Structure 1
């Protein structure tokens, strides 16, 4: 079970735990700072409204435990609120506007840059933040010259062979995937008796999808009566545990690569290829 502020991630890699003197003296050449960005929003009748933020914190906690000691990764407190206005009208949703969220991200980046950090990862666990955060990392790169990364842990896979093809395609909110993970990390926060199954009907469409090919703008009330898209009735803690272990194995390796990455080497490699 996940417990906040306990374990190696929080004791050894939680940046605000350090004093100003310690932060000043940190080697920063390859140091990667992670800013988790989540959401507080409805996740159907069975999951807590903190689901996205909870999953992000638990995933990073486990991944940072798997890092080699010499990998310089530092964790910031999460931005727990996201751009969740697509869930307005459903109780428990607390949303920031796009401009507010981008402003917060930019201010944090500016502060890190002023402290001498060169690398920042926006670690996102809410689908409604994706487009905004991809804009933000470009703006941070242009304005502050930092090397900035964006990552959603769901993009790393981990659910293969565990959930149905229908869930993989349409289970984007509160279904088997998210419910299984929450059952693995905070089982007493899940109310199984209210779990439901609901998928949007896009079967007659060839090109339009929720998150790929050709997209259409939607709010949750357009595509779901229950507030979820997926099959929460099939969720199990064991599936969630396997998914988390798979994702955090990959994530630990990815974080080491981000620490070593130098953006200046990309163009250099291309120039050498042209010469050849």
Structure 2
């Protein structure tokens, strides 16, 4: 499918106002949202932002040039209240963050764009995505979608089931991605197997989990140090750049497919036109 009036750039900030006013209504405006927070002793505060940028960059390489998507300015600081006891972590309150995302995306009503996607790379704010997109649908008529990279699954055999379930923060998964994307920012001598207390918890209770789902009904409000004194969870010592490369390609492919899928779903469920 070919669309008219596609700008040369994929970045919203590089458009002129004339180009923004002439965008095809089928354009998907993607808002990257991430976080600035501690990632243990071996990873940078901006890990979630670097991972988000890396997935988007690879996705744009894979996406056909005639699929209309534009990347909005990254919202780097998220809500990271569970990490605030660790130096360097920054946070908005959840209600304020939802307001920021909503008000920013509502501005697109002054363009022809009616298809939005919030792309998230921080688990602590994934629960905010659905109400924001629904609000944008109800109040402005947008087709508003959301996605988080960690919902895209993992290549078979790349990480153990335990690491996928309990290595939620700066373990083998995120460390591997960063070893591929920004090895200069990873302090591997300080990496370790940061075993999460959630592993032991899952052996003594049947319905509570730090990461509920998969048959476990109950979650609870935890701070990072409740799960691991270091603030990290997972076996960062087994991370490799090659695992990161394979995972990045997997996730970028999933995201490119999702963006193409919006073109099929939005006309059915409404995109403000």
TM over 0.5: yes
1:209 aligns with 2:209: yes
Aligned counterpart, 1:18: 15
Instruction: Tell me if the contact between 1:167 and 1:176 (Cα under 8 Å) persists in the aligned partners.
Output: yes
Relative to structure 1, is the Cα distance of residues 232 and 128 closer, same or farther in structure 2, using a 3 angstrom cutoff?
Answer: same
**Secondary structure class of the residue paired with 2:31:** strand
Post-superposition CA distance 1:144-198 (Å, at most 9, x none): 1111111011111124311111101111101000000000000010000110212
Gap regions ≥5 residues in structure 2:
1-7
Deviation string 1:213-242 (CA, Å, 9 cap, x unpaired) is 221111112211010111101100000000
Separation in structure 2 between the aligned mates of residue 56 and residue 110 of structure 1, nearest angstrom:
22
Look up the match of 1:273: none
Contact 1:73-1:259 at 8 Å conserved across structures: no
Q: State the number of aligned residues.
A: 256
2:115 corresponds, among 119, 126, 137, to 119
Indicate the SS of the match to 2:177. helix
- 1:254 to partner: Cα distance: 1.5
TM-score of the aligned structures, taking structure 1 as reference length:
0.89
In the alignment, what sits opposite 1:274?
none
From 204, 221, 224, give the equivalent of 2:228: 224
Question: Structure 1 pair 266/79, CA: closer, same or farther in 2 (3 Å)?
Answer: closer
CA RMSD of aligned residues (A): 1.6
Query: Aligned residue for 1:140?
Result: 136
1:178-217 aligned at under 5 Å gives the runs 178-197=174-193, 198-200=195-197, 201-202=200-201, 203-212=203-212, 213=216, 214-217=218-221
Match of 1:166 in 2: 162
